[in-house]
Structure 1
Amino acid sequence: MSSRTKTSRLYRLWSLAVLAAAITAMVWFATGHRTELRQIFETLRDGLPITTQAEAAGQSAWLDSGPTTIDPQELASLDIEEQDRSDDDYERDEFGSSWLDVDENSCDTRNDILARDLVDVTYEDGADCEIADGTLHDPYTGTTIEGNLSEDVEIDHIVSLGDAWYSGAEQWSDEKRERFANDPSNLVAVDGPANTSKSDDSISEWYPHWDAPGDTVECRYAAAYVHVLAEYDLSVTRDDYTLLKQLEANCKELA
C-alpha cells in the first residue's frame, strides 16, 4: 500500500498551527490585541499550500460515495479461471458505440458521471445536461484538474470493457454489454492520461504500475472492482484473486 501523501501531513501541521493561533486568540482578545492577532491569522491563512486549500474545498465525490473495504462474500463468490487473451478478439463496439440515457433523465451517462464527480460545473449555453467545464479532484492521481473536459477528463470503466470481455462478457447479449458499459457503479471521472495508461488491464496488470495518491483510493477502487465483478458474475485470474485477497486484508486493517 502507498504511504500517506505529503500534502496530508502538511495539512495536519498547518491545522495544529491554526489551532495554536486560536488558543492564542483567546488570550490576546482578553488583553485587547485585536489588530495584532488579525495580522497573525492572515499570515497563517495566506501561507497555506495551494494543494492543501484544494483538499479543504473537497475531494473526489466518487471516493466518498462507496465502501473502502472489500466485501468478503462478494470476493468469495468470484470464479477463478484462466483467461485466454491470445485471440485478441475484443472490440470496443461490442459494448455499444455511444453513451446511453440509462436512467431516463434525458442526460447521457457521460454527463451524469461528470455531474456526479465534478464540482463547480458549468453547462453549454442553453443546455440542461451537456457539461462544458468543471473541477475534478482526480482520485487516480490526487491532482485537481480544471479545463477542457474533452481533453483533460475521461470516464473510466473500473472493470474495463476489455477485462470484462475476457472475464465472461463475450457470452452476453448486446443489450447486457451496453448496460454494463453505462452502469454508474462501474464508472468514475478521472485524469485522461491515467485512464489511457490503465487501458483494458485487469487489476493485477494495472495495480503494480499505479502511483495511487493514498491508501483510501486504492481500497475504494478494489472494493468497487470486486462489487462489479460479483454483480455481473465475471471471473478473475489467479493473479487478480491473489492481489484482491491481499487488498482485502490490508484495507480491513485501515478501516
Structure 2
Amino acid sequence: MVSQSVLLLAATAGLGLAAPIERRGNLPEPVSAATAIQYLSSIKVAVESNVPAYDRDLFKHWITISGECNTRETVLKRDGTGVVTSSACAATSGSWYSDYDGKTWTAAADVDIDHLVPLKEAWVSGAKDWTNDRRQQFANE
C-alpha cells in the first residue's frame, strides 16, 4: 500500500546521508538499515503503464478537511510558524521553513504543497487500478 511505501521512503531516505538532518514535526522513528533492506526485498516490481492515460482530474485533491479549510490550507497551518488565517482559512501571514533547501518563505503563495510521490508516478505504478476514493485519499495524504 501507499502508506507502506511512504514508510519505506522515510525509512531509507537517510541511508546515504553523511550527516543527519534535523527532524522537525511528528515524524516516525526511522527503522534500522537491516529492516529497510528487508522491506526493500519484499517490494513487488511491476512494469509501469500509462494505459489508460494519466488524468490529474482522477485524483480529487485539495478537498475540504475541516470547516472551510482544504488540504493545502491545513498543511500550511500545520507546517508554518505564526500562521494567521482569514475567515476563509487562507494563510495571510506566517513563515514556512523548507527542509529541502534550508530556505524560509513568508508568503503562502510561494510555498509549494506537493506529493512525495507525484500523482502521475502513482498512476503509472498502479493507481490507475485504484478506486476514486483511494486516489482521493492518496492525493490528500
So what's the TM-score if we normalise by structure 1? Answer: 0.41
Residues of 2 paired with 1:74 and 1:129: CA distance? 39
Residue identity over aligned pairs, in percent, reads 31
Code of the residue aligned with 1:99 in structure 2: it is W
Partner SS state of residue 101, structure 2: coil
Deviations 1:151-194 (A, max 9, x none): x10111111111111111001122221111111xxxxxxxxxxx
How much does 1:130 deviate? Answer: 2.2
How much does 1:136 deviate? Answer: 0.9
Given candidates 28, 44, 58, the residue that maps to 1:79 is 44
Code of the residue aligned with 2:74 in structure 1: it is D
Given candidates 77, 88, 94, the residue that maps to 2:58 is 94
Paired residues in the alignment total 121
Code of the residue aligned with 1:153 in structure 2: it is V
Residues of 1 paired with 2:71 and 2:121: CA distance? 20
Code of the residue aligned with 1:145 in structure 2: it is W
Partner SS state of residue 154, structure 1: coil
Residues of 2 paired with 1:145 and 1:88: CA distance? 38
Given candidates 75, 95, 107, the residue that maps to 1:135 is 95
How much does 1:64 deviate? Answer: 3.1
**Structure 2: runs of 5+ lacking an equivalent:** 1-15
Q: CA RMSD in A?
A: 2.8
Write the mapping of 1:14-163 to structure 2, written as runs, cut at 5 A. Answer: 63-67=24-28, 69-70=30-31, 72=36, 74-85=39-50, 89-96=53-60, 98-102=61-65, 105-106=66-67, 107-124=69-86, 127=87, 129-147=89-107, 149-150=108-109, 152-163=110-121
Give the 3 Å change call, closer, same or farther, for CA 112–75 of structure 1 in structure 2.
Answer: farther
- The corresponding residue for 2:135 is 177
Which runs of at least 4 in structure 1 moved beyond 6 Å after TM superposition? Answer: none
- Which has the greater radius of gyration? 1
Give the 3 Å change call, closer, same or farther, for CA 146–77 of structure 1 in structure 2.
Answer: same
Given candidates 167, 188, 195, the residue that maps to 2:125 is 167
Partner SS state of residue 134, structure 2: helix
Code of the residue aligned with 1:166 in structure 2: it is V
Structure holding more helix per residue: 1
**Structure 1: runs of 5+ lacking an equivalent:** 9-58, 184-255
